[in-house]
Amino acid sequence: MTATTKYKTAAGETSSSVAETAKELGSNPVVVSAEAEALSHSETTMKLTPSFVLFQLLAEEEGGAVPPSQAGNAMRDSTVLKVGQPDTLFDFKLTDYKGLGGKNKIETLPDPFKIVEKELQPFSDSIKELVSTDQPILSMAAKHFFEKRHGKRFRPTIVQLMAKAVAACPPETMRGDRWEDTGASRINLEGGAVTTANHKDSDVWRKQGQLGQIVEMIHVASLIHDDVLDEADTRRGGEAVHKLYSNKVAVLAGDYLLARASVLLARLENTAVVQIMATALESLVAGEIMQLKSSPEELLQMTSYLRKSYYKTASLICYACRSTALLGGHAYGSTVATACEEFGFHMGLAFQIQDDILDFTAAADILGKPALADMSLGLSTAPILYAAQEFPHLEPLVKRRFKEKNDKQTALEALYKSDTAMDKAKELAKFHAQRAVDALLRLPQSEARDALLRLTYIVITRKK
């Protein structure tokens, strides 16, 4: 079976069934019409199903359910990749660790940032070179976030660790018309498959590293555009790009970063990865549209909030994770690639929910952006939505996006008065973090995989 046919089969859900599922879920931000979308597909292109259709959004006690098996989530066996390989963390639970109810020390696991520190050291310099332009102002604006205030490089760190983790997955043989177990395909490396031994400094390793740069460029471009739309004054503890220059320059800088990311993406020479990451770009726009156009009723729905969080945050992470597996020679629908996307989906949602919690609990100088920013934009996040479930008088405020005088103050008072709202939001973050862990545990044990477990813990216990 050819690679193109295999990808087609992996993404074989019909557009009508996806539409039906989306209809059941509620709001479905469409960037292009169904007719235009159908015209853009051929026999060999992928038709991706949104990750929130493939994986669980809410815990069962909140009305959530495990989605049915379908293309993109079917290969989820928890033992097949680890036959004959011991796993000392096979029953890893976040609640067993300090800060989340347990006694174990997370420091016993590898430090995720130290493992990739040397590989990411030249990151800022190389990425600044990649976005250089002959126009000084545009160049400075585009490079702004790649200077000193670069944080932990969260997304490139995930990509680098995931690249190492999937390299540790054993190659396998064909069974009938598909790859058995992981979906690893033959690749232009010694032995015909990526392994821990031949991964470092290989062409696969280089392309996966470049994917990390592409992901960061897309992320930074979205931040620059978001700050213009939201009229934000600060970002990452410094002035927003549009405040330093102008709205026009900021929009052009974001556009330029996206254009450069697209060029670099094409140079990966992997059409499946190009399609997946292009869908991630589309998802970011869909998230902004959903944020602007949600109906009053949808503003009260937890599932609507989570889908918006998927489009704006988790989609880029989960598609980058699956793309990392594909660059390593694994098929779209394989156990490895599915585990990677599922991890990224839940990790991204846990990250965003924790961000939304910190919006109410951390000071602006710690956050690096204005506190209560979401409420100022008329948005309700998990803490407020849970408070509204407890105090129905908040529902009209949420529906009108806190536009009337004292709306924000009333909502805040109810939130801080609530005995359950913040705790429920933290439980939601923990639910997604544990699901991310469960997906990782389907991969063979390795230093990189265990570092990703620790990174998941860091995401939901961070204070900034």
Sequential pLDDT tens for the chain (464 residues): 233 333 333 444 444 444 454 444 445 555 566 776 777 777 767 778 999 999 999 999 999 999 999 988 988 888 888 888 899 999 999 999 999 999 999 999 999 999 998 888 776 667 667 666 666 666 666 666 666 555 568 999 999 999 999 999 876 554 555 444 444 445 667 667 788 888 999 999 999 999 999 999 899 888 887 777 765 555 545 666 665 657 787 888 888 889 889 999 999 999 999 999 999 999 999 998 998 889 999 999 999 999 999 999 999 999 999 999 999 988 888 889 999 999 999 999 999 999 999 988 875 445 455 557 788 888 899 999 999 999 999 999 999 999 999 999 999 999 999 999 999 999 999 999 999 999 999 999 999 999 999 999 999 999 88
Q: How many CB atoms lie within 10 A of CB 267?
A: 12
Q: How many CB atoms lie within 10 A of CB 289?
A: 14
Contact between residue 173 and residue 448 where contact means Cβ atoms under 8 Å apart: no
Give the total residue count for the chain. 464
- Crossing angle for the helix pair 335-361 and 154-167, nearest 10 degrees? 160
| CA distance to 138, 226, 232, 242, 356, per residue, from 235 (Å) | 18, 10, 8, 11, 16
| CA distance to 17, 38, 243, per residue, from 14 (Å) | 5, 10, 45
Please report the pLDDT score of residue 35 as a whole number.
73
What are residue 168's phi and psi, to 5 degrees?
A: -80, -5
Task: State which amino acid sits at residue 461.
Answer: T
Please report the pLDDT score of residue 2 as a whole number.
32
As a whole number of Å, the CA-based R_g of the chain is 22
Long-range (24+ apart) CB contacts under 8 A made by 292-296 are 293/29, 294/27, 295/27, 296/399, 296/400
What are residue 179's phi and psi, to 5 degrees?
A: -70, 135
Please report the pLDDT score of residue 250 as a whole number.
80
In the three-class reduction of DSSP (H, G, I as helix; E, B as strand; rest coil), residue 178 is classed as: strand
Closest C-alpha among 41, 11, 88 to residue 453: 88
Please report the pLDDT score of residue 329 as a whole number.
87
Find residue 235's DSSP bridge partners. Answer: 238
| CA distance to 106, 114, 272, 334, 452, per residue, from 322 (Å) | 26, 23, 10, 10, 15
DSSP state, residue 299: G
The domain defined by 110-353+446-454 carries CATH number 1.10.600.10: yes
Its pTM surpasses 0.75: yes
Closest C-alpha among 137, 76, 96, 107 to residue 443: 76
Please report the pLDDT score of residue 374 as a whole number.
81
Closest C-alpha among 262, 274, 340, 356 to residue 308: 356
What are residue 407's phi and psi, to 5 degrees?
A: -60, -50
Please report the pLDDT score of residue 224 as a whole number.
82
Residue ranges per structural domain of the chain:
110-353+446-454
Please report the pLDDT score of residue 169 as a whole number.
87
